[in-house]
Amino acid sequence: MKNDFRYPFSVFTATYNRAHLLPRVCECLTKQTFKDFEWLIVDDGSTDNTRDVVAELKSKVTFPVRYVVKPNGGKPTAVNRAAQESQGLLIPILDSDDWYVPETLERFWHHWQNIPEKAQPEFVGVTALCSYPSGELIGDRFPQDVFDCDFIDLRYKHMIGGEKGGCVRTEVLRQYPYPETLGKYVSESLVWNRIAQKYKTRFVNEVLTIKEFQPGGITRDGRYIQVRDTQASLLCAKELIALGSRLPMKPRVRAYANYVRHSLHQGISFGEQAAGVPSKAMFYLCYPMGAYLRTRDASLVAEKQAKKPQPIAS
């Protein structure tokens, strides 16, 4: 597999007004047993002292640090910028509220190198488990300690859920950019479902990322953020529906219900919704569920708006 990259890894951190968390990210990178990497920070238009904090951190570390500032556009635009800026073969995505165990990059590289060189072009990267700071596992373990599978089958056939952390080939991330015209919230599933139709992932049962979800973050307040910005969620549902019989029945029902839900959020008429799906029977069957979800969303929005709104952080 041809490698024109400068480093094995460009560790990517998107940040928006989270200067106070960056020293912890930097500390975990300083402790990495694998040293051949750069740290790529994409600042999504922060208004706090992020620039000063990065400058101070950069002066204290021995690994390369690159700091890119862009106008605020949400995490998807930051990911796209990182893919273009990356000088690493693989991009480990390390959020500002996460940190790595000391062996994380070493283990990512070990598992990537264990994929036969001729087979590496078939893979997008390596994904491992995550835990809370308490050590409690987040989500499900994989069916095997080393498990090769695409994201669609993992999520919808094997029903493996929960937050995971890994590294992605830079060139694949460049092939599948996040849409930037659908609002600031774009579900990762939209991109990963597209990638899964061409590439597999090596999944490993090792806890390599520690997560501490922050108030106002995408994961912690995901449903509310998703409801406020539904264009990408509607597109994701449409593309899942288009998979047809590849999607098992329960996920297919959920996809149709979400299609209705987000269509209603977008003000799309019943007739137009019905005309946009391959199975009218499934659409009619799932319409009540989708309408209920839309009503539930409205209650959530009303509840949130009654409280002080939290900013969306990258």
Placement of tokens 């409801």 in the chain: 227
How many CA atoms lie within 13 Å of 263's alpha carbon, on the beta-carbon side?
Answer: 24
Domains of the chain: 7-211 (3.90.550.10), 222-305 (no CATH)
pTM of the model: 0.90
If the chain, 314 residues long, is cut into consecutive pieces of 10 residues, what is the mean pLDDT of each piece? 85 97 98 98 97 97 97 93 98 97 98 98 98 97 98 97 97 96 87 97 98 68 67 94 95 97 96 97 98 91 69 52
Please give, one letter per residue, the 3-state secondary structure of the chain.
CCCCCCEEEEEEEEECCCHHHHHHHHHHHHCCCCCCEEEEEEECCCCCCHHHHHHHHHCCCCCCEEEEECCCCCHHHHHHHHHHHCCEEEEEECCCCEEECCCHHHHHHHHHHCCCCCCHHHEEEEEEEEECCCCCEECCCCCCCEEEECHHHHHHHCCCCCCEEEEEEHHHHHHCCCCCCCCCCCCHHHHHHHHHCCCEEEEEEEEEEEECCCCCECCCCHHHHHHHCCHHHHHHHHHHHCCHHHCCHHHHHHHHHHHHHHHHHCCCCHHHHHHCCCCHHHHHHHHHHHHHHHHHHHHHHHHHHCCCCCCCEC
Distance CA 254, CA 237 (A): 9
Residue-wise pLDDT tens digits, 173-206 = 999 999 998 888 888 999 999 999 999 999 999 9
pLDDT of 302? 78
Residue-wise pLDDT tens digits, 33-87 = 999 999 999 999 999 999 999 999 999 999 999 999 999 998 899 999 999 999 9
pLDDT of 199? 98
